[in-house]
Structure 1
């Protein structure tokens, strides 16, 4: 009986997270995550690809950056395009080695991004 209860609880948790995330697209989750990680404004970013979510932005000095994200339960994991090798870098999910863990939640139409190495940030739909 315990095993069934745990499985049902886990399924409800994943379903609730998916339903909450429906307020924001995967690209918006990606933009919000990179905003927190890199200190950039979400409106300065452009969506390059929908699946997988890929965004880019250009700094005032002319340097451009591209990122891909994947959504895993309530976590957002990202990687960057390495212009010198013209390849995608590794996914930033090696938490034991020091990668920051980024999670999200949605409540009342507000997206909250929490990063264990940076200040949390909240976003409204109009921020994108």
Structure 2
């Protein structure tokens, strides 16, 4: 190793040694936060992939619209598929007047957000928070709505097939 390379290495060691306690502590916090963030990103990706292998977005969204609209899961709500942005399109023909109702739905973790085809996402103050869970051993999809006043309702759909 040349004398110049040794000097460069000593320069880095000396620079780290000259860090004041607050600067060293701040640098340590930043490095730890980056490690925790990377760990969270990897783990959440694994969990999301595991969920997607159990039940489809279309099934979750169909259950969400059925629960919100007070319809049975095995009604005429149909899925148009999920696009590359993770948005599932659904439609429902109301039997009383044969009108077509179209919806959009997106899932993030255990949360579901929905909207009519051209309407805003239901994320405003006063809109219910919607959570889902799935019991594969019972084939049961559970959609829970938590309303802005703190009350909630839950709808259990049995016979929902996993992938």
* Fold shared per TM-score above 0.5: yes
Higher relative contact order (CA 8 A, sep 6+): 1
Q: Deviations over 1:46-74 (max 9, x none)?
A: 12333231111122212321101111222
Deviating beyond 3 angstroms after TM superposition, the runs of 4 or more aligned structure 1 residues are 1-7, 107-110
Deviation of 1:35 after TM superposition, in Å, equals 1.1
From 78, 99, 103, the equivalent of 2:127 is 99
2:150 paired with 1:122: no
TM-score (norm 2): 0.61
Find the residue that maps to 1:53 and give its secondary structure.
strand
Instruction: Measure the CA separation in 2 of the matches of 1:73 and 1:25.
Output: 13
Gaps spanning 5+ residues in structure 2: where?
A: 1-30
Partner of 2:8: none
Q: Cα distance 1:107–1:67, how it changes in 2: closer, same or farther (>3 A)?
A: same
2:39 paired with 1:39: no
More strand by share: 1
Find the residue that maps to 1:42 and give its secondary structure.
coil
Instruction: Measure the CA separation in 2 of the matches of 1:105 and 1:8.
Output: 24
TM-score (norm 1): 0.74
Q: Cα distance 1:99–1:11, how it changes in 2: closer, same or farther (>3 A)?
A: farther
Give the root-mean-square deviation of aligned CA atoms.
Answer: 2.5
Gaps spanning 5+ residues in structure 1: where?
A: 82-87
